[in-house]
Structure 1
Amino acid sequence: MNRVISVESVRRGNAAIMSGKRHGISMDAHNVSVRCKTMMGSYTMTFERERIVKAANEAFAKIMR
């Protein structure tokens, strides 16, 4: 199992964003961006998909040991 985030999950996520079901989340081939609002203003956090996949794979490996 090399990839946790599949192309299909990106398509479903983008479709949900475009249909208005999810606000503040955008995904592309390399990054996931999350926008959040706080009392201090609006912030956008961007995560590399490869880091997410690596962390998920490590967590999965720990569970399977």
Structure 2
Amino acid sequence: MPERYGPWETAYTLFRRWQIDGTWARVLKKLQVKADAAERHPGCLYKRDKRGVTTAHQAGQGP
């Protein structure tokens, strides 16, 4: 972990606090709303189309 974040115990304590109080769940939900608005899913290569969800490496391939 980079020194600029301080001791790992401090970062872990903050991470756990945010996990317990629901901060991470709220962040994820907002990111998912933005990704859906952009028709993309965060963290992967999915793209929505009218037929459903296809991965980027499958797009344009035949049956």
* TM bracket (short chain): 0.3 to 0.5
Which structure dedicates a bigger proportion of its chain to strand? 1
Question: Higher relative contact order at CA 8 Å, sep ≥6: structure 1 or structure 2?
Answer: 1
More helix by share: 2
